[in-house]
Structure 1
């Protein structure tokens, strides 16, 4: 990581400049430096052991508002106030291809599908978009229905549905293949949506608005009963 820039420009810099600066107690320094004696010689100031090196992922031109790892941990997706989405190699920190463009305002939420093949994003432009995580291509038209900016998005565990939370104080469910809205919006929150998530079996959704209690929704019923908690549940609102 410390020498990623020169190594990317010229592979021999692994030996010419990186190897001489390895920490003195590292295996590379002890075993490898003697093999390349005609390179740089560092006389003082070397570290004894490796230090943590934070790697800054650079490419966005405005604030980054949302990030997520792919399920296998190999990639990172980010959404920004520059209206774009970027994919990154989680090992090297390198940008993977061109930024994903389509939103007309800030990108405020991003998530990978469970199989890592798709990305869902939510935006200040009140829409949700689906993307091919390999090619960066937009998958169909934007998902429209929210009347205020989309603050949170998540895939169901089987990847067939998407849940979104918005500043219009509603939660919506979508078909992840067709982009069609599934039923009426889920109403009950009195403040804008802060976070949404599916249960592991995909039968329930939890949502957390700002400045309010979180809520549990049952996706198996067309009425989508709103159940706030931690208050005690009235009998009429308990699940069958």
Structure 2
């Protein structure tokens, strides 16, 4: 049983069982008549509907090796939930400003949050207390990524800048790099931490750089006809992108051959992606009000789409 968690603008979190930023710019949510529409199952009910946040929920992240996950919201809080019973676990973590970005360490011991106030806060997931916080001295923190050893954080900002930080001390260790014209709404470490991929709010360009130097692995390339809100790496080194052009694409960034496959099915903006621990499954959520599962081998949709009453903006897959 794979569990998909999704969030939407109706403030509810929904947990589904499946076998096997600023709002979007005008025009990004239009239906594309060329897209293939897969079947939607209206009668498949969520396992739980989780209530507690009082404003939009932008981010979800699973905690490794357990049934817990974290949510981050415009209400300024991050909350921990149990996917099995739908209950909130422990006290909430008050970031302060709106939470636009969130990442959980691989060992599940810490997490980091960022938002409209330009701060990054690192939290203990055991005590729910702040470990350290710092001012990035840049615009909104739209995105965060953490290295596999939990030592390094990467932040993407509203002014198109990317920076790297020591997660224990808050010291800046690389950057600022002006990689994009505007809002960097997704950053992602490769599985071996050697590369960082980034995408921006309005541009359809992807930037892949070496984490140790900031130099380009390959030249920046036009990946989509719309903003790129989500990028994830697979264990095999492939990069997967989601876009407001309704498409999911798989890329080989190792030798410049680039596009491997395009997965079609969503009829509106694809807002977030999440992968299983083994990289075999990909989850996507969209403004077409569906969550979908995909095979990263065949690039085909697995089973029917999961219907939600409103647009979806974040997703996480359970560790099992």
- Normalised to the residue count of structure 2, the TM-score between the two structures is 0.53
Q: Does 1:57 align with 2:89?
A: no
2:146 maps to: 112
Do residues 200 (structure 1) and 241 (structure 2) align? Answer: no
For residue 145 of structure 1, report the CA deviation from its aligned partner: 2.1
Assess, with a 3 A threshold, how the Cα gap between structure 1 residues 139 and 67 changes in structure 2: closer, same or farther: same
By relative contact order (CA 8 Å, sep 6+), the higher-ranking structure is 2
Larger Rg, first or second structure (1 or 2): 1
What is the CA distance between 1:201 and its match in structure 2? 2.1
Q: Normalized per residue, which structure has more helix?
A: 1
Partner of residue 159, structure 2: 125
Residues 29-48 of structure 1 aligned to structure 2 (within 5 Å): none
TM-superposed deviation, 1:211: 4.2
Maintained 8 Å contact 1:103/1:123: no
Partner of 1:73: 108
Alignment partner, residue 200 of structure 2:
166
Pick the aligned partner of 2:168 from 134, 142, 162.
134
Please give the residue correspondences for 1:76-115 in structure 2 after superposition, counting only pairs within 5 Å.
Answer: 76-97=111-132, 99-115=133-149
Contact 2:105 2:111 in 1 (8 A): yes
| CA shift for structure 1 position 52 | 5.8
Q: Is the 8 A contact 2:249 2:262 kept in 1?
A: yes
Query: By how many angstroms is 1:65 displaced?
Result: 0.7
Name structure 1 gaps, 5 residues minimum.
1-50, 232-240
Computed over aligned residues only, the root mean square deviation of the Cα atoms, in angstroms, reads 1.8
Alpha-carbon shift at residue 226 of structure 1 (Å): 6.5
Deviation of 1:141 (Å): 2.0
Distance 1:68 1:52, change over 3 A: closer
Specify whether residues 103 and 210 from structure 1 end up closer, same or farther in structure 2 by C-alpha distance, changes over 3 A only: farther
Aligned-partner Cα distance in 1 for 2:88–2:212: 42
| TM-score normalised over the length of structure 1 | 0.69
| 1:182 and 2:194 aligned | no
* 1:141 match: secondary structure: strand
Alignment pair present for 1:155 and 2:185: no
- Please list the CA deviations of residues 148-175 of structure 1 after superposition, one character each: whole Å capped at 9, or x if unmatched: 2111111011111101111221111011
Aligned to 2:256: 222
Q: How far, CA to CA, are the matches of 1:170 and 1:216 in structure 2?
A: 14
Looking at structure 2, the residues matched to 187 and 229 of structure 1 have their Cα atoms a distance apart, in angstroms, of 17
Conserved in 2, the CA contact under 8 Å of 1:121 and 1:130?
yes
CA contact (8 A) 1:190 1:212 kept: no
Counterparts of 1:143 and 1:182 in 2: how far apart (Å)?
A: 15
Residue 96 (structure 1) shift = 0.8
Partner in structure 2 of residue 144 of structure 1: 178
Query: Whole-Å Cα distance in 2 between the matches of residues 113 and 163 of structure 1?
Result: 13
Contact 2:227 2:244 (C-alpha < 8 Å) held by counterparts: yes
Contact 2:195 2:208 in 1 (8 A): yes
Shift of 1:185: 1.2
Q: Distance in 1 between matches of 2:254 and 2:233?
A: 12
CA distance, structure 1, for counterparts of residue 187 and residue 112 of structure 2: 13
More strand by share: 2
The CA distance in 2 between the partners of 1:215 and 1:61, in whole Å, is: 35
